[in-house]
Structure 1
Amino acid sequence: MESSQMRVGFIGLGIMGRSMARNLYQAGFPVTVWNRTATRMEEAKKWGAQTASSPKEVAAVSDVVITIVGDTPDVREVVEAPGGVLDGAMEGMILIDMSTISPDTTRELADRAAEKGVRMLDAPVSGGDVGAREGTLSIMVGGDAKTLQEVTPLLETMGKNIIHCGPVGAGQTVKACNQIMCGLNLLGMVEALSFAKKAGVDLETMIQVTTQGAAGSWALSNLAPRVVKGDLDPGFSVRFQQKDLRIVLEEAERLQLPLLGTAQVSQLLRSVQAHGGDEDGTHALITALERLGNVDIVPDEQD
C-alpha cells in the first residue's frame, strides 16, 4: 500500500493531538478522529477529518491508529476496554501510542494487540504545543524496526527527529529520561531567574547571556522569556508533567534507583498545584520559587 493511501485513525485531540492530526490530514492522509470531548471532533471536522463514535469505529476504518491521550488508564480504556481499538481492529493494523505512559503497560498492551494480529509501536513525543503545530516534534519509538519503516512517512508529518530506541517500551523509557532532564533544566532555569532578580540583575539580560553558553537549554530559551512577560499559559501543563514524573519515579522505584533531583522537582510542582496551578504551563514552577525566596518575578497583569 502506498503510504499516502494509509487510512489513519487518530484518538486524542488535546493541545498536541489536534495539531498532529491536522498535519497528517494536510499531508494527504485520510484521517478519522475520536475524542472524549465531542466538540473537539467538530473542530476537526471543519478542517476535513472524518469523525467516529468510538475508538472501535476508528479502528474499523483505519490501517494505522494513533493514540495520544492523558495517562496510562486512558490508554488502556481506548485500546482494550469494550468498544476500544482492539475491538474494531483488523489483523495487520498498526497501533502507534504517542502518549506518555508506563513502559510496563506498553509491553502488556503490545502483547494484547499481538493476540489480535495488531502490531504496536510506542512513540512518545517531545516538543510541546509549538512542536506539534510546526511538525517538528522529537519522536522516540519502541518496537519492530520494519513496522517503524512502514509508518515513517506518517511520523514525518508530525516530527523531524524520529529515533528508533529499541524494542516495545524503549520509546517510553527514553521519554522518561527526557522528562527527567526537562524537569531538572526547568528547576535550573527558575532558580537562576530567582537568583538574578534577588541580586538586582536585569532578567532579560541574564537570559540573553546565558542562552549563548554552556548553561543554555530549551527551557531557558523558550520558557524563561515567557516567565519574564508573565505568560504562564501551558504549552505543556503542570498536571501532565506531574503525571510523567510519577511514571519516572514509579519506574525508578522498581529499578531501586534514587532520583533525588527528579523527586525534588515533583515536590515543588506539587506546591504549584496546591496553589491552583494545575493547568498552568510547567514554567509556573517559578511561583514556588517566588514563595520560597520571597521574591517577585512574574509581573502582575496590571504591570
Structure 2
Amino acid sequence: MSARVAVLGLGAMGLPMATALARIFDVVAFDIAAERVALAVEAGATGVGTVVEACLGTDVVVVGVRDGAQLDALVLGDGGVADSLPTGAVVVVTSTVGEAAVRAVAEALAARGIRCVDAPVSGGPVRAGTGDLLIMVGADDEALAAARPVLDALSSSLTVVGGIGAGQQLKTVNQLLCGIHTAAASEALALAHRLGLDLDACIEVLSQGAAASFMFADRGPRIAAQLRGETPPLRSRLDVIGKDMGIVGDLARQLKVATPVAAAAEQLYRTVAAAGLDASDDSVVATMLAKEPAW
C-alpha cells in the first residue's frame, strides 16, 4: 500500500509494530534513542531524527509511549505531532495511558483538524512483530476508516468498543487481569523454587491444566531464569506494569469499585520498584518473593 505511516516510540512494543508495518507500508520511525531507530531501519523502516520529519506528508501516526505524560509531550509539546501533521491525518494511540489522557489529546488534535484513534494493544512484543495483536478500539467511524488498514496489519483480533476513551477503558480491565496473573505467577514459582521443585517442569505441567494463563506462559520462563540467578531478556519493564495497575486503581477508586486483589498486586509492584528494580523485567518480582527472611 502507498500510505505513509510514522511510528513514534520504538520501545518494547513500538519497534516490533514498526517491523510488522514496514512489510506493508512506507514506514518512517522515530525514537529519542538512536540505537532503536537503527534497529527499525534494519527492519525496513526509514529512520528520522525529529518528530517534525516523521510527520511530514504522513497519513497515519502510530504512537507507542510509556505513559500519559510522554503522550502529552510527544503529541502536544513544541515541535510535536499536533504542530507537525497535516490536516486530515490520523493519530493512533496504542499505549495504555488511561481514558483521561487519550481524551485530552484527541480534543487537542481535533481542534487542529487531526483525527485520533484510541487503540491500546495487548499480546506482547512477539505478537506485535507478527501482526497478531489484540487491539481494543475507541474511535468515530471516520477516524477508524482512515486508520483501519494499519490496525488490520497489526492485529489478529480487533474490537471496536465505542468512542474515544472506550479502548482505554477495556484495556484497563485487561490490565487488571494481566497484573494479577503476573503477580500470581511470581508467587507460584517463588513457592516452587523454595520447595526445590524443577521450575521448567512446573511451568510445563501448570501450563496444561486449570492454572494455565497467557501471562503464566509468557512470564514463566523469565521468572524461572530470575530464580536461577540468570538475567532474562528485558521484555516487560516493572515500572510499566506498575503504571498500568496504578491506572486500574485510579479508575476503581473513581467508580467506587472494590478491587482488593488488584490493589495487592499494585502494592507488590510498588514494593519491588522501591528496591531500585523499576527498570528491570517484571519477572524480577519472584526473586524478591523467594528470598529467605533474615529473621
Equivalent position of 1:176 in the other structure: 172
Q: 2:9 aligns with which of 1, 12, 15?
A: 12
Equivalent position of 2:272 in the other structure: 272
Say whether residues 1:245 and 2:242 are aligned partners: no
- 109-118 or 43-52, which deviates more: 43-52
- Shift of residue 13, structure 1, vs aligned partner: 1.0
> Letter of the aligned partner of 1:276 in structure 2?
G
TM-score normalised by L of structure 2: 0.90
- Shift of residue 192, structure 1, vs aligned partner: 2.1
Say whether residues 1:209 and 2:209 are aligned partners: no
Q: In the alignment, is the contact (CA less than 8 A) between 1:55 and 1:79 conserved in 2?
A: no
Distance 1:153 1:105, change over 3 A: same
Unaligned runs of 5+ in 1: 296-303
Q: Deviations over 1:126-155 (max 9, x none)?
A: 122222223222111111244324422212
Q: Deviations over 1:246-271 (max 9, x none)?
A: 22222222222232112211211122
Say whether residues 1:93 and 2:115 are aligned partners: no
Distance 1:232 1:45, change over 3 A: closer
CA distance in 2, matches of 1:276, 1:232: 17
- 75-84 or 221-230, which deviates more: 221-230
Q: Deviations over 1:213-272 (max 9, x none)?
A: 222101222221332233543221101111111222222222222321122112111222
CA distance in 2, matches of 1:175, 1:33: 25
Q: In the alignment, is the contact (CA less than 8 A) between 1:8 and 1:66 conserved in 2?
A: yes
Written as runs of structure 1 = structure 2, the 5 A alignment for 1:145-294 is: 145-230=141-226, 231-291=231-291, 294=293
Q: In the alignment, is the contact (CA less than 8 A) between 1:233 and 1:280 conserved in 2?
A: no
Q: 2:20 aligns with which of 15, 19, 23?
A: 23
CA distance in 2, matches of 1:99, 1:216: 26
TM-score normalised by L of structure 1: 0.88
Equivalent position of 1:59 in the other structure: 55
Say whether residues 1:143 and 2:139 are aligned partners: yes
CA distance in 2, matches of 1:88, 1:182: 36
Written as runs of structure 1 = structure 2, the 5 A alignment for 1:125-144 is: 125-144=121-140
> Letter of the aligned partner of 1:100 in structure 2?
T
Cα RMSD, aligned residues only: 2.1
Written as runs of structure 1 = structure 2, the 5 A alignment for 1:288-303 is: 288-291=288-291, 294=293
> Letter of the aligned partner of 2:20 in structure 1?
N
% identical equivalent positions? 33
- Shift of residue 201, structure 1, vs aligned partner: 4.2
> Letter of the aligned partner of 1:185 in structure 2?
H
CA distance in 2, matches of 1:265, 1:50: 40
CA distance in 2, matches of 1:213, 1:193: 15
> Letter of the aligned partner of 2:21 in structure 1?
L
